Amino acid sequence: MAAVIAAVLASGASVFGQNDWRAEFDDICSRTEQAMDLSKEELRVLIERCDRLKPGIEKLEETEKKVYLRRLQLCRNLFAFALDSLSNK
């Protein structure tokens, strides 16, 4: 199973073009380490970007779709948590 997931991740197949969706995905999720240091507006923008990217990922092949939708949801959840934490201060 791990070999299948690794092969899918390495393939970079896309419905958006060569790697357009992947570049956006990587950019969004690369910011999770700084999530607690971002402003409310930056967090809102990242959440919106997650929401806009989701329909494109849903068009991928089943295994790839499952992996990337889960990862995107985890990133979005972290940004939402950070935004909620800032709002409660």
Q: Which residue is it, tokens 């201060």?
A: 89
- Four-CA torsion 41, 80, 32, 68, nearest 10 degrees: -120
What is the domain partition of the chain in residue ranges? Answer: 2-87
Distance of CA 88 to the CA centre of its chain: 25
What is the per-residue pLDDT across 29-41, written as a single tens digit (0 to 9) for each? 999 999 999 999 9
32-86: pLDDT as tens digits: 999 999 999 999 999 999 999 999 999 999 999 999 999 999 999 999 999 999 9
pTM comes to 0.78
Structure tokens at 84: 């909620």
Compute the Cα dihedral for 69, 74, 78, 81 and give only its sign: positive
CB-CB contact of 14 with 58 (8 Å):
no
What local confidence, expressed as pLDDT, does residue 89 receive?
Answer: 75
The residue ranking higher by pLDDT, 53 or 10, is: 53
Give the pLDDT score at 44.
98
CATH for 2-87? 1.20.58
